[in-house]
A and B are shown apart, each in its own frame.
Chain A
Amino acid sequence: MASLSRRLLLTATASALFVTATACGSAVNTADGSSSDGVITLSMHNPDSKTQDPATWQLVQEFNAEHPDMKIKLEGQPVDQHEQRMTIAAQSGTLPEIFWVYDSLAKTMVKSGDLLDLTPILEENGLKAKFAPSMLAGFQQGGMQYGVPYQALITGFYYNKAILDEHRIAVPETFEDLLAAVKKLKAAGVVPIAQGANNSSFSVWAFLTMLDRFGYEAEYPKILSGEARYDNADFLRLYEHVRELAEAGAFPANMNTQTYAQAVASYTAGKAAFLDAGVWEAAKIQQSEVGPSTGFWAGPTFSDGVGEQRLVMNVPSAPFVVSAKVKEDKEKYAAVKAFIQFYYSDAGQKILVDNAQPPVTTYRPQVDSTKNPVFAAVLAEAAKPGWTSPKAQPDLVVSAATASAMYDSFYGVMGGSLSPEEAAGNVQKTIK
C-alpha cells in the first residue's frame, strides 16, 4: 500500500516536471515582455473600443499611423473581467504595457511596485504644464506619479426640457425644486429619474456629488483614519433626502433589473425626464430623438447641506497606468512615452473633443454649440462662474470595498431595501 502510493507520487512528480519542461519549450509566450519590437499593448475596459470608446480607438489609429516604427495593440474586455484580469496579471507579473484601471486597484499595484513612475515622461517637452494640478494630484503616491487621467468626468443630471415644459416645471436648482418636480412628473406618469443598478451599481454619479455637498471632501480623511464615522448625522440627512425622493416615486420600477445602459436608453427614448450620467453620454444623447431638448444640470443644492453647495463634479476619471516592466525595454519605453506625449498633446486632446469628451489638459477647444449643443451644455455647466469642482469623485478615494458599499448604499435607499441608517452603516462597516 505504502509503496504503491510512493510509486504513484514519484511517477506523478516526474510526469509533472516533464509536462512543465515540454510546455515551457513549445508555447508561444506573448505575456513575456522581452521581445524588443516597439509593440505595446493598451488594455482597456471595453471589449470593442471602436464602437464603445471611439475616442480611444481613434487616438490609437492616429498614433499608429503617425509612428510607423511603433505599434499599439488595443485590446479590452468588459469592465468586470478587465479588472479581474489586471489583478491576476499584476500577481503574476504579466501586466500589459499600458492599461486603464480603477484607481483603488492602481494604488494597490503601486504598493507592490508594479507600476512605472511617469514623472520623467511628464517632465519631457513640458507635458506636465499642460495639466491643471488637480488632474494629476489624485494619481500620486509616495512621491510617485503612477497614473495620468484617461478622461475627465463631468457628471450630473441630463434633463429633457420638452418634458419639463410640458408639465410646467422649471429646471430645478434646490433639492426642494427637484422633489416637487419629481412629484409632478410621477403624477403625470413620467419616469422622473432614469437609473439602472443591474451590474452597474456605480451609476450614482449625481448622488456622489451630493455627498460632497454634505461635506464629504473635508470629512473622508477623518473617516478613513477612524476619527469620524461615515454614518454621521450630516450624511444621514442626505440619505434621508434620497429616501424622500424614492418615496415620491423618483426612480423607475425596474431600476434594480435594468442596467445603466437600459436607463440611458429609456431617457433617449423620451421615457424619463432626468438621467443620472456624465459627459460621455453627450454624443449618444445628441444623436437621439431627445437630443434637441436636452440640457445638463450639476444637481441640487441643499439648504441643510454642509459647506459649499455650488459644486459641479469635474474630475479626472480612473487613470491610465504603465507597467513597471516597460522600463527594462528601451523600445517599449519609447513607445509608451510617445503615446502619452501624443495623447495629451493638443492634437490628441482634439480627438477627445471631436468624440464629445472633455479635454483633460488645459487645451481649450472650440465647441460648436449649434452642432453639439448637448456637449456644449455639459461644458458650460462645468464652467459656470462661481461654481467649483471637488478634487476627486468620492468613490475614487476609498478602497474598492468601501466604494462598492457606497454604491449599494444609494441604490439600497433608492430601491427601499435599506433604511438611511442601514445604508450608511454598511459603508462604515467596510472601513477598518
Chain B
Amino acid sequence: MSTDVRTRPAPPPVRETDPPRPRRRGRGAVVATAVAYLITFVILFPLLWIVLLSFQTNDNILNHPFSLSDLSLANYQRAMETLNLLVMYKNTLILAVVSVTVGLVISYMAAFALTRMVFRGRTQNALRYYFLVGLAIPVYVLLFPVYRLDIAFGLFGSYFALILPYIAVTIPFNILLLTGFLRDFPEEIEQAAVMDGVGLWRMAWKVVFPLMRPVVATLAILNVIYVWNEFPFAVTLINDPTLTTVSLGVSQFQGVYSVDHGAMMASATLVLLPQLVIYAAFQKQVIAGMTAGAVR
C-alpha cells in the first residue's frame, strides 16, 4: 500500500452484547435513575402536550388550553378528510426509498474511492473537503436554482424533481461519516482479497461493504428522517396533489385568514407516530452503526 493512504490500527473489537456487569445499587444509582427519568419526562412533555391538544377544540386550544372538557376525535376526522394520507405515505415512501438507496450507493462509492484507492492523497483530500463544504449550504439558497434545473431537465412534476436534490443534500453528511469509517478499515482484509485476485468492484461491494453495514444502516435512518420531514423543496417543487408528501400535510390547514390548529395538531400527531415507531424499531441499528467506528 502506498504511504499516502492514512492507515491506522484497526479499531478495537466492540462487544455488542456485553453482559451487564454486576453493579452496586447504592444511593448514587437511585439518584441517577431518578434524574434520568426526570430529564426524559421533561424532554417528552412537549410531545405529550401536543397529543393532548390534538383532542381539544380549536377554541379551547387558543383560549382555554388547560381545560380538559370537550375532548374529541373531531380534529382527527377533519385531518383525515382533508388529507389523503395513503397517497402521502406512499409518495413519501417512494421518495425515501429511492433517494436514500441511490444516495447511499453513490456516496459509498465516492467515499471508498476517496479513502481506499491509492493516489496522491492531495487530490483525494481536496475532493473530500469539496464534498464537506456542502454541510454549510442552507437549503433555501437551493430553491430557485434547483427549480430551474428541474425544469431544464424536464423533471418537474415527477418524483425525480425531489429525488435528485434530496440525494445531493444528503451526500456531504454521508461522505463525512463514510470516509471517517473507511479510513480506519483494516488494510489486512483488503490485502488478502487482492491476493485472491478480487477486482475493484467486488472489493468495494463484496469484501468491504458487508463490514460497513452498521454505519450504512445509521445513515439510512438519518437520511430517511430527513426526507420524511423535508418541507422547503417539497412545497416548491410539487404542484400535483397526487405527489404530495407527508411533510406538506400540516401546512394544509394554514389558510391566509384561517388556521385550523386542531387539525394541525392531529395531523402532526398522525405524521409523528409512525416515525417514532419506526425509529424505536431501528434504534439498536443506529447505535450499533455509530458504535461500529464511524463516529469516534
| Interface pair A94/B151, CB less than 8 Å apart | yes
Kindly report which residue of chain B lies nearest to residue A100, judged by CB atoms: B256
**A85: which B residues are within 8 A, CB to CB?**
235-236, 239
| Interface pair A4/B123, CB less than 8 Å apart | yes
Q: Mark out the residues of chain B between 122 and 176 whose CB falls within 8 Å of any chain A CB in the assembled complex.
A: 123, 143-144, 147-148, 151-158, 160-161
Question: Interface with A: B58-66, B204-212, B284-292, which one?
Answer: B58-66
B254 CB–A CB distance under 8 Å? yes
**A187: which B residues are within 8 A, CB to CB?**
none
Q: Mark out the residues of chain A between 27 and 72 whose CB falls within 8 Å of any chain B CB in the assembled complex.
A: 27-31, 41, 43, 45-48, 51-53
User: Counting chain A CB atoms within 10 Å of each CB, which of B120, B154, B160 scores highest?
Assistant: B154
| Interface pair A75/B236, CB less than 8 Å apart | no
Q: Mark out the residues of chain A between 263 and 312 whose CB falls within 8 Å of any chain B CB in the assembled complex.
A: 264-266, 268-269, 271, 280-281, 284
**A88: which B residues are within 8 A, CB to CB?**
143-144, 147-148, 236
A77 CB–B CB distance under 8 Å? yes
**B154: which A residues are within 8 A, CB to CB?**
23-25, 27, 29
A260 CB–B CB distance under 8 Å? yes
Q: Mark B252-265, 1 if CB is under 8 A from A, else 0.
A: 11111111110000
Q: Mark A394-427, 1 if CB is under 8 A from B, else 0.
A: 0000000000000000000000000000000000
A125 CB–B CB distance under 8 Å? no
| Interface pair B155/A27, CB less than 8 Å apart | yes
**A28: which B residues are within 8 A, CB to CB?**
157-158
| Interface pair B153/A30, CB less than 8 Å apart | no
| Interface pair B239/A30, CB less than 8 Å apart | yes
| Interface pair B241/A29, CB less than 8 Å apart | no
Kindly report which residue of chain B lies nearest to residue A76, judged by CB atoms: B255
| Interface pair A48/B62, CB less than 8 Å apart | no
Kindly report which residue of chain A lies nearest to residue B82, judged by CB atoms: A48
**When chains A and B are docked, how far (Å) is the Cα of A48 from the Cα of B147?**
24
> How far is the CB of B231 from the nearest CB of chain A, in Å?
9
Interface of A is mostly: helix
Q: Mark B47-61, 1 if CB is under 8 A from A, else 0.
A: 000000000001100
B229 CB–A CB distance under 8 Å? no
A188 CB–B CB distance under 8 Å? no
Kindly report which residue of chain B lies nearest to residue A49, judged by CB atoms: B255
B251 CB–A CB distance under 8 Å? yes
> How far is the CB of B25 from the nearest CB of chain A, in Å?
47
| Interface pair B257/A271, CB less than 8 Å apart | no
**When chains A and B are docked, how far (Å) is the Cα of A96 from the Cα of B156?**
13
**When chains A and B are docked, how far (Å) is the Cα of A111 from the Cα of B108?**
48
Kindly report which residue of chain A lies nearest to residue B154, judged by CB atoms: A24
Cβ contact of B147, chosen from A78, A92, A96, cutoff 8 A: A92
**B143: which A residues are within 8 A, CB to CB?**
84, 88
Given contacts A24-B153, A27-B155, A91-B144, contact A79 B235 (CB under 8 A): no
**When chains A and B are docked, how far (Å) is the Cα of A26 from the Cα of B161?**
12
| Interface pair A46/B256, CB less than 8 Å apart | yes
**B188: which A residues are within 8 A, CB to CB?**
none
Q: Mark B188-203, 1 if CB is under 8 A from A, else 0.
A: 0000000000000000
How many residues of chain B get a CB closer than 8 Å to chain A's CBs?
38
Cβ contact of A81, chosen from B58, B235, B255, B261, cutoff 8 A: B235
Kindly report which residue of chain B lies nearest to residue A96, judged by CB atoms: B239
**When chains A and B are docked, how far (Å) is the Cα of A47 from the Cα of B254?**
7
| Interface pair A271/B63, CB less than 8 Å apart | yes
A261 CB–B CB distance under 8 Å? yes
| Interface pair A259/B156, CB less than 8 Å apart | no
B240 CB–A CB distance under 8 Å? yes
User: Counting chain A CB atoms within 10 Å of each CB, which of B157, B158, B241, B259 scores highest?
Assistant: B259
**When chains A and B are docked, how far (Å) is the Cα of A88 from the Cα of B144?**
6
Given contacts A23-B153, A27-B156, A85-B239, contact A269 B256 (CB under 8 A): no
> How far is the CB of A86 from the nearest CB of chain B, in Å?
11
**B151: which A residues are within 8 A, CB to CB?**
31, 92-94
**B236: which A residues are within 8 A, CB to CB?**
81, 84-85, 88
| Interface pair B153/A269, CB less than 8 Å apart | no
> How far is the CB of A152 from the nearest CB of chain B, in Å?
14
| Interface pair B153/A78, CB less than 8 Å apart | no
**When chains A and B are docked, how far (Å) is the Cα of A1 from the Cα of B127?**
13
| Interface pair B156/A30, CB less than 8 Å apart | yes
| Interface pair B156/A265, CB less than 8 Å apart | no
Kindly report which residue of chain B lies nearest to residue A92, judged by CB atoms: B151
**A269: which B residues are within 8 A, CB to CB?**
59, 62-63
Cβ contact of B257, chosen from A19, A47, A96, A281, cutoff 8 A: A281
**When chains A and B are docked, how far (Å) is the Cα of A79 from the Cα of B256?**
6
Q: Mark out the residues of chain A between 213 and 264 whose CB falls within 8 Å of any chain B CB in the assembled complex.
A: 259-262, 264
| Interface pair B62/A29, CB less than 8 Å apart | no
**When chains A and B are docked, how far (Å) is the Cα of A25 from the Cα of B239?**
20
**A284: which B residues are within 8 A, CB to CB?**
258
**A260: which B residues are within 8 A, CB to CB?**
257
B residues contacting A by CB (< 8 A) are: 58-59, 62-63, 82, 119-120, 123, 143-144, 147-148, 151-158, 160-161, 235-236, 239-241, 251-261
7 A-B residue pairs with Cβ-Cβ distance under 8 Å, sorted by A, are A27-B154, A28-B157, A51-B258, A78-B254, A84-B143, A94-B151, A261-B261
A residues contacting B by CB (< 8 A) are: 1, 4-5, 19-20, 23-31, 41, 43, 45-48, 51-53, 75, 77-79, 81, 84-85, 88-89, 91-94, 96, 259-262, 264-266, 268-269, 271, 280-281, 284
Closest CB pairs A-B (n = 5): A52-B255, A30-B157, A261-B259, A24-B154, A27-B158
Supplied contacts A51-B260, A91-B147, A94-B156, 10 more A-B pairs, CB within 8 Å:
A27-B156, A46-B256, A78-B254, A85-B239, A88-B148, A88-B236, A91-B148, A259-B259, A262-B62, A265-B58
